[in-house]
Amino acid sequence: MVDIEKELHDMRYLSWTKSRRSSGTAGSFLKAYDDSGPVKKYYKLSDYDAVLGIVGHECVNEIIVQRLLRFLGYEHLEYKLIHALVRIDDRDMETYLCVSKDYKQKGESKIALEDYYAMEKKQGQSPLDFCKEQGWEEYIYHMLIVDHIILNRDRHGANIEVLRSAKNKSVRLAPLFDHGLSLLCRCRTGEEIKKFDVMEDRRVQSFVGSGSTLENLKYVPEKILHGLPELREKAPDLLFDGLDGILQKEHLDKIREMIQRRWAGLGNI
């Protein structure tokens, strides 16, 4: 697949810094950037522990989810998964990281939706109603659908961004991005994978909506919810193509089950 590079790249030149971690669990998500070329590139690692090293698989989740978004035809940030040698805290580590390009157009600035909402909302207006007033309802409906399918735990108000251009007098939402904290992101062992209930309605962060991805579906019009394409027989294979050897088979099989069952459940809402 063009979104995976399995050849090992020496990327020890990157300088990693901690990013905002809103989930409250141990560990860190490290980010880096490279602006030496014509297009600025952003890199991120899966969950990093100062003692154990890179212990997460969030970067792989990004690839699976972007393929799902591509299948649905929803606008999203494009990631590439790269097999890389990185250097953190004077230690060399082999891992898979994500890289993406700057999605801002020339002259655009970005601001978190939660901050833009705080500045522009009417008194008593909810984030959902605010987004509808801005003409962003379809984007929000798509986001709520996908976040339920993948059980996205981390759709806080800074994981949705507003892009503004004074020159063009335009305001738009950035493509959907940052889906690492989803799927089986908390599972580290085979036993945890085995016990994971793929249909459980777990508490999540959701700036637009409630703390339940299932409850959030009530905001989506039935014609959109029930108008989704069928997850055709070969579609799940496309989501996982090339990931053998990057994640264990039992892990991939559980994610496959999760996506299929949560997708199928949309027809009963």
Same domain, 150 and 247: yes
What is the total count of domains within the chain? 2
Question: Per DSSP, what are the bridge partners of residue 165?
Answer: 108, 170
Same domain, 24 and 114: no
Same domain, 126 and 253: yes
pLDDT band of residue 32 (cuts 50, 70, 90) is very high
Q: CB of 254 within 8 A of CB of 175?
A: no
Same domain, 92 and 117: no
Same domain, 66 and 150: no
CATH of the domain at 254: 1.10.1070.20
Give CA–CA dist 248/250, Å, rounded: 6
Same domain, 127 and 233: yes
pLDDT by residue (tens digit) across 210-236? 999 999 999 999 999 988 887 765 667
Same domain, 25 and 138: no
Nearest CA to 265 among 216, 226, 238, 234? 226
User: To which H or E segment does residue 152 belong?
Assistant: none
Q: What is the mean predicted confidence (pLDDT) over 48-77?
A: 95
pLDDT by residue (tens digit) across 118-165? 999 999 999 999 999 999 999 999 999 999 999 999 999 999 999 999
Mean pLDDT across the chain, nearest whole number?
93
Percent of the chain with pLDDT over 90: 85
Same domain, 62 and 170: no
- Total-model pTM: 0.93
> Which of 86, 101, 116 is where one domain is finished?
101
- Structural domain of 206: 108-268
Q: What is the mean predicted confidence (pLDDT) over 8-34?
A: 77
